[in-house]
Amino acid sequence: MIRRTSVLALALVVAGALPTMAQPDLQARARQYFQPVTAVAIRPADAAKVELGRQLFFDPRLSQSGAISCNTCHNLASFGVDNLSTSLGHRAQTGSRNAPTVLNASLHFVQFWDGRAKDLTAQAKGPILNPVEMAMPSEAVTVSRLKSIDGYVGAFRRAFPGEAEPVTYERMAQAIAAFEATLVTPSRFDRYLRGEQQALAAHEQRGLALFLDRGCVSCHDGAALGGNKFMKFGLVKAYPGAPDAGRFALTKLEADRGVFKVPSLRNIAHTYPYFHDGQVWTLDEAVRTMGETQLGWKPSDAETGALVAFLQSLTGELPEQARRMPILPPSGPGTTRPAR
Amino acid sequence: MIRRTSVLALALVVAGALPTMAQPDLQARARQYFQPVTAVAIRPADAAKVELGRQLFFDPRLSQSGAISCNTCHNLASFGVDNLSTSLGHRAQTGSRNAPTVLNASLHFVQFWDGRAKDLTAQAKGPILNPVEMAMPSEAVTVSRLKSIDGYVGAFRRAFPGEAEPVTYERMAQAIAAFEATLVTPSRFDRYLRGEQQALAAHEQRGLALFLDRGCVSCHDGAALGGNKFMKFGLVKAYPGAPDAGRFALTKLEADRGVFKVPSLRNIAHTYPYFHDGQVWTLDEAVRTMGETQLGWKPSDAETGALVAFLQSLTGELPEQARRMPILPPSGPGTTRPAR
């Protein structure tokens, strides 16, 4: 599903003059495309669910081996990724796509590179049962392991009060999603969008102007600077990376071949390596690759530098509850043993 | 090296009467064997070194695959262990011994199950280069990776001021050791030792009395309730687990066959599975096994329950800096890529 905005954007690219200094109307223009984010305030009614989700997120017992947690591949010490091309799952197996960050994932319109999950709850159910990822044999085995841990039974009860059988696979996923929904990371760019002119240096503002004028914004817009539409990777020129049919594998529509969800650019300086295959390691190369494949544009060294500087201003701050590790409740005598 | 205390202990076991209630002099007796611990106050002069060590402890780039950090196997979310019989290392390989907790490791007289490292600094150097653990190819490659990360160069400079070449393998290990030295976990038992009679319930005090009277204390004494001597595992009756020559493999002395460092009992309720091979999953079974193999004593269900209750009172509190995850500095363009 390629939207018309990309055509408009290409027109802009052709028409746009190369900006050489900060533009006085830049802030106003940026506000037309982007929405600033704020740290998520956890509602008291959600606190128990978020806390349960935080424990589950860090708990390797959600994997068959007892060694892989959500945080293994979406490491909150490194901006919600593992900085690997593809993650190491059960028995060190790998999938074919790079693990996207969980930070700001709640701002995405769908989840996974191919958008196959409609929201964070649906997403959370996937990797736990994926045989090359956490490899739990079934929902039932997962729930039975959780029920064998007294600390979790109590935590589910507090998170989902009034339920006769609070521990279910669905609610496990809901709790993880509730925690992940708090992982919004405001940055200097948000202060800029809110009117603080000095929050971005002149060099970064030049990068922002290029980002708007050259059409990067046609895909990477909204609150997450991405994450709100699908787009073909290789619009103008084929991406040289590993072959991947993208959404075609899901929809079998020829128009979806090579089409992926546009990733968010928030915290992009830390979430290398880049693209669905994790084959590009520097932001500099990623910017040049995007220019050529999506816009038919070869940015100069100076332009690339300015764009990279702007992208670095998108590095945000994790909320405190995401940085503080939980104390995991101990297993019970009936807890199924880790299996290799 | 079996010390004479064990002979004394066996004598005590034979002489000791079965206590059925809390003894008024129990606290005074306990103080003869154990020293209470307090949370470690980080000296301002050490703060930068501890902070660097905290980052390194959580950094998977200390492994060849880029996927295994110290915290992978010594997970601070689960009392410094991974709750696996043996840990999963490089390419999901396993060693033969259970990963001991890093909590209170600074109180141990030597490190590793066989005591082959004299202190935490010497210990920290091992797993990084061990081909079945983190599998870095050499000290030089490790140092070169660290030097390629700007954030680390600055952090080493702050941690080791005045050094022309602050980033070395030795200082990396020193920093990790400095962080680990802060992982001391005071518990209710420490309050009891300091005079707070009510800090242990009557049932737990009965367990403590048994612990003293039956001779468990002959090995598990001192500040860490263990960690201060070597002892043969299977003194009275052979341990039925996996064969392991223990210190014999190091010293080639027949007297060291099956001899290991006595592990600390602090946080033991959370650091299952037990023993050097991680083959015993419940504290109940571990207590019975120790009774039979080391003391020739079959504790009753009630005695086992009281001992387990006492051992649970040794669960302590992690210091705040151990629960807060660092933000890892990003790799540079010259950082060596993860290799499978």
Q: What is the pLDDT of residues A246-264, one digit of tens each?
A: 999 999 999 999 999 999 9
Query: Per-residue pLDDT tens for B274-294?
Result: 999 999 999 999 999 999 999
Band the pLDDT of B4: cuts 50, 70, 90: very low
B228 to chain A, minimum CA–CA distance in Å? Answer: 27
| Predicted structure pTM score | 0.93
- Which among A66, A78, A83 is the nearest to B83, CB-wise? A66
For B48-91, how does the pLDDT look when each residue is reduced to its tens digit (9 = 90+)? 999 999 999 999 999 999 999 999 999 999 999 999 999 999 99
CA-to-CA distance for B105 and B263, rounded, in angstroms? 10
Res A1: pLDDT: 39
- Residue from A132, A159, A210 nearest A52 by CA: A159
Give the best residue of B75, B76, B93, B148 to mutate against chain A (max A CB count within 10 A).
Answer: B75
- The better pLDDT of the pair A243, B10 is held by A243
- Whole-number mean pLDDT of chain B? 94
| Structure tokens that stand for B265 in this block | 């009992």
Chain A residues near residue B77 by CB distance under 8 angstroms: 58-59, 325-328
Give which of B338, B135, B142 is closest to A281, Cα–Cα. B338
Contacts of A179 in chain B (CB under 8 A): none
Question: pLDDT-derived band of residue B24, with 50, 70 and 90 as boundaries?
Answer: low
Read off the pLDDT band of B243 (50, 70, 90): confident
Q: What is the pLDDT of residue B23?
A: 63
The pLDDT of residue B1 = 39
User: Is A65 at the interface with chain B, CB within 8 A?
Assistant: yes
**Interface contacts A/B by beta carbons within 8 Å:** 95
**B230 DSSP β-pair partners:** B261
Compare all CA atoms of chain B with the CA of A73 and give the residue at the minimum distance: B67
Q: Which residues from A are below 8 Å from B187, CB to CB?
A: none
Cβ contacts (< 8 Å) between A323 and chain B: which residues?
Answer: 324-325, 327
List the structure tokens of B40: 């470690």
Element (H, E) at A193: helix A188-193
Q: For residue A327, what pLDDT is reported? A: 97
Angle at A319 between CA A316 and CA A320, to 5 degrees: 135
| Cβ A120 vs Cβ A181: under 8 Å | yes
Inform me whether the C-beta atom of residue A66 falls under 8 Å from chain B C-beta atoms. yes
B62, B69 in Cβ contact below 8 A?
yes
A4 contact B CB<8A: no
Exposure of A2 in the CB half-sphere (CA atoms within 13 A): 18
Tens of pLDDT, residue by residue, chain A (340 residues): 344 444 444 444 443 444 445 566 999 999 999 999 999 999 999 999 999 999 999 999 999 999 999 999 999 999 999 999 999 999 999 999 999 999 999 999 999 999 999 999 999 999 999 999 999 999 999 999 999 999 999 999 999 999 999 999 999 999 999 999 999 999 999 999 999 999 999 999 999 999 999 999 999 999 999 999 999 999 999 998 888 999 999 999 999 999 999 999 999 999 999 999 999 999 999 999 999 999 999 999 999 999 999 999 999 999 998 999 999 999 999 999 999 8
Non-local CB neighbours of A282 within 8 Å, separated by 6+ positions: A272, B333
Long-range contacts of B81-85 (CB under 8 A, 24+ apart): B81/B270, B81/B271, B82/A60, B82/A66, B82/A67, B83/A60, B83/A61, B83/A66, B83/A331, B83/A338, B83/B271, B83/B272, B83/B273, B84/A65, B84/A66, B84/A67, B84/A338, B84/B273, B84/B278, B85/A338, B85/B273, B85/B277, B85/B278, B85/B279
Amino acid (one-letter) located at A312? Q
**B11 falls in which pLDDT band (50, 70, 90)?**
very low
**Phi-psi region at A49: left, alpha or beta (left = phi > 0; alpha = psi -120 to 50):** alpha
Please report the pLDDT score of residue A97 as a whole number: 97
